[in-house]
Chain A
């Protein structure tokens, strides 16, 4: 089964700093990739997803992620973070073909943005 690794457990940034959160997965076949965000006290929401095509995916709130197949990576980026980006971020992966109800999540990265 596929698995997901998120390198950073907790990231602390100042407002306007650039953000990059790492995500690596282990699965040999085609994959669909996702980033979900969980703001304090709220439910998970989809930030962006990659199925195929342009490996640079743009999501909501200025976030983007780049799929690098050779590195099995799907890192999340934002050029300039805001205090409101404080949240927990989860990378997730499913097989890209076939019956794929088994979405695997990484352990999450907690982002704290200082005003």
Chain B
């Protein structure tokens, strides 16, 4: 099916472990984004990518790493998970920057760090 999918939907991990959240889109959108959603903060941009092999930091990048070797995939890695990274993570894609056009969101990954 066409769209944007995130995996896993739910993840529990231990402090200090590395964990990777996957994001895959089938539209060939140039832009992809990772947001985290926390109560009282709304969505905050972690990293974004304007095209394959082009990534840049957002508002809250510390503790996260991204890569984009293929247009359709944009994995987010927590190198050493901390409890403060417990959150719901949303991946999104768009044909241009989100200020120009609609961003399409995945269903989210709920990550719990214990």
Binding site for B on A (CB under 8 A): 1, 4, 6, 32, 42-46, 49, 90, 92, 94-96, 99-108
Contacts and interface: CB of A to CB of B under 8 A. Distances in A.
Contacts of A107: 40-42
Nearest to B106: A43
A95 B58 CA distance: 15
Most buried by B among A45, A102, A103: A103
Contacts of B40: 107
Contacts of A106: 42
A94 B107 CA distance: 23
Interface of B: 31, 33, 35, 40-45, 48, 50, 56, 58-59, 90, 92, 97-100, 102-103, 105-108
B48 to A, nearest CB: 5
Nearest to B96: A101
A106 B43 CA distance: 7
A101 B41 contact: no
B80 to A, nearest CB: 26
Given A100-B100, A101-B50, 8 more contacts: A4-B42, A32-B100, A42-B107, A100-B97, A101-B98, A103-B98, A105-B35, A106-B42
B97 to A, nearest CB: 4
Contacts of A1: 59
Contact of B105 (A44, A100, A108): A44
Given A43-B105, A43-B108, A103-B103, A90 B98 contact: no
A90 B35 CA distance: 13
B66 to A, nearest CB: 14
